[in-house]
Amino acid sequence: MSPSPLTFEVEQSTTPKADAEREQILANPGFGKTFTDHMVLATWMPDQGWHDGRVTAYGPIQLMPSAAVLHYAQEIFEGLKAYRHEDGSIWSFRPEANAQRMIRSAHRLALPELPEDDFIESIRQLVTVDQAWVPPAGTGETSLYLRPFMFASEAFLGVREAHEVTYSVIASPAGAYFAGGVKPVNLWLATEFARAGDGGTGAAKCGGNYASSLAAQQQGAAHDCQQVVFLDSSTHTYIEELGGMNLFFVYKDGRVVTPALTGSILEGVTRSSILELSKEMGLAPEERRIEIAEWKDGVASGEITEVFACGTAAVVTPVGELRWDGGSTPAPASTETTMAIRERLLDVQYGRVADTHGWMTRLV
């Protein structure tokens, strides 16, 4: 049960960053390095539902060493952004899609549902209090990255769903996800490790999926690759996704192909938006299984002209070489369609074109 709607009491931070320091951070935010003055917290218990919602000073969360999340990784999260438009207003992009995905993730990880309205209200409250942290309009792709997350905070070592759960939202001013900005990233092909398997948690946004990607990510970094491509765990043949992004292939005949959702791939909000936008751009989007051989052969023959990664954090990022133990494909010839899709998406998010899909929600 949940006394709906969840309300959020605001406790102002007594130690907010000075204006000058905040402006210095906003001028060059990078990704995920600095955090705003406040955060959201709420608690769930079986008999009380969601309660004790508040916006409070950003700071450490106290947990017992026995908190279940630290042992059994019962945790899920989301990622979305707040964008400042030219008139100063602040908007988010398809927050209801993130809310619904968090509900699906909660089901998979045996966590309680946070209703869509409470999810959207929680980000609206945080962004309202920390609105000075949303970078000004017209500064490239800067935004305020919002990270809602939920975890098993109950102090209990028995393996069962937690009877005390914490929900939080933190916010971090963000520029380009990759340190080099928007330029092609090289990808490492994981042949030894899979990210997720049939019946596993691949379609849920849970911390464990990201933890399981890190050993391959380390191998990739040793080969000067910024991300890793994971294949399906049963046949090691079909392309799934990167550790934290979906993949698209642009063909010379205008097809824009992405791996079909098989249950072990995360359904990206950016991914599904690109499927719609590319159709409107006269391209032919397609969701299907794609063999790794098709990538290698397609780039070599010129059938595949571009490859790109996408996600909330990465937006749309061109892919360069694919590397693996003992070989590599060259970088695709072009980034033209990739950059056009990227611009189209950013134009919607920053309110530079009409929001014909009803994707934008005003926060402030």
- Specify the stretch interacting with ligand COI by CB under 6 A; choose among 21-29, 67-75, 84-92, 311-319: 311-319
* Minimum CB–partner distance for residue 310 and ligand COI (Å): 9
Please give the residue whose beta carbon sits closest to ligand COI in the complex: 79
Q: CA–CA separation, 360 vs 354, rounded Å?
A: 10
Give CA–CA dist 127/138, Å, rounded: 19
Least separation, in Å, of the C-beta of 168 and ligand COI? 15
Nearer to ligand COI by C-beta: 208 or 254?
A: 208
Segment contacting ligand COI by CB under 6 A, of 6-14, 93-101, 305-313, 334-342: 305-313
Integer Rg of the chain from CA:
21
Using the rule CB under 6 A, which residue among 95, 148, 184, 244 binds ligand COI? Answer: 244
Burial of 211 (0-12, 13-18, 19+ CB in 10 A): exposed
Quick check: 115 and 7 in contact, CB under 8 A?
A: no
Residues from 148 through 187 that contact ligand COI (CB under 6 A): none
Q: Which of 79, 202, 220, 320 is the binder for ligand COI (CB under 6 A)?
A: 79
Q: If DSSP codes are grouped into helix, strand and coil, which group holds residue 272?
A: helix
**Is 312 among the residues that bind ligand COI (CB under 6 A)?**
yes
53 lines the binding site for ligand COI (CB under 6 A): no
204 contributes a contact to ligand COI by CB under 6 A = no
Furthest C-alpha separation in the chain: 61
Q: Minimum distance between the CB of residue 145 and ligand COI, rounded to whole angstroms?
A: 7
Contact segment (CB under 6 A) with ligand COI among 90-98, 131-139, 288-296, 306-314 equals: 306-314
**For residue 54, what are its two tokens?**
């508040």
Member of 42, 189, 247, 313 binding ligand COI (CB under 6 A): 313
Residue 143: how many other CB atoms lie within 10 Å: 28
The piece of 9-17, 110-118, 190-198, 308-316 that touches ligand COI (CB under 6 A) is: 308-316
In the stretch 109-138, what mask flags binding to ligand COI with x, by CB under 6 A? ------------------------------
Are 150 and 76 a contacting pair, CB within 8 Å?
yes
Structure tokens given for 41: 């917290």
**Which residue's CB is nearer to ligand COI, number 213 or number 305?**
213
Cβ distance to ligand COI smaller for residue 244 or 320: 244
Contact 196, 233 (CB under 8 A): yes
Near ligand COI by CB under 6 A, which window of 20-28, 163-171, 246-254, 307-315? 307-315
Count of chain residues binding ligand COI (CB under 6 A): 5
Cβ neighbours of residue 303 closer than 8 Å, sequence gap 6 or more: 251, 252, 297
| Among the residue ranges 62-70, 183-191, 292-300, 309-317, the one whose residues contact ligand COI (CB under 6 A) | 309-317
Q: Does residue 39 sit in helix, strand or coil?
A: strand
CA-to-CA distance for 353 and 70, rounded, in angstroms? 45
Residue 311 binding ligand COI, by CB under 6 A: yes
User: Regarding beta strands 90-93 and 304-311, do their DSSP bridges make them parallel or antiparallel, or are they unpaired?
Assistant: unpaired
Q: Which is nearer to ligand COI, 98 or 329 (CB)?
A: 98
| Beta carbons of 78 and 205 less than 8 angstroms apart | yes
Instruction: Name the residue nearer to ligand COI (CB basis): 174 or 257.
Output: 174
Short-list 22, 153, 149, 160, CA closest to 77: 149
Query: Least distance in Å: CB of 293 to ligand COI?
Result: 27
Report, in Å, the least distance between residue 363 CB and ligand COI: 17
The HSE-up count of residue 236 (CA atoms within 13 Å, CB side) is 6
Q: Which helix (H) or strand (E) holds 285?
A: strand 284-288
220 is an interface residue for ligand COI by CB under 6 A: no
- Choice between 31 and 156, CB closer to ligand COI: 31
Please state whether the peptide bond connecting residue 5 to the residue before it is cis, i.e. omega within 30 degrees of 0: yes
Nearest to 292 by CA among 159, 171, 189: 189
Q: Which residues bind ligand COI (CB under 6 A)?
A: 79, 244, 311-313
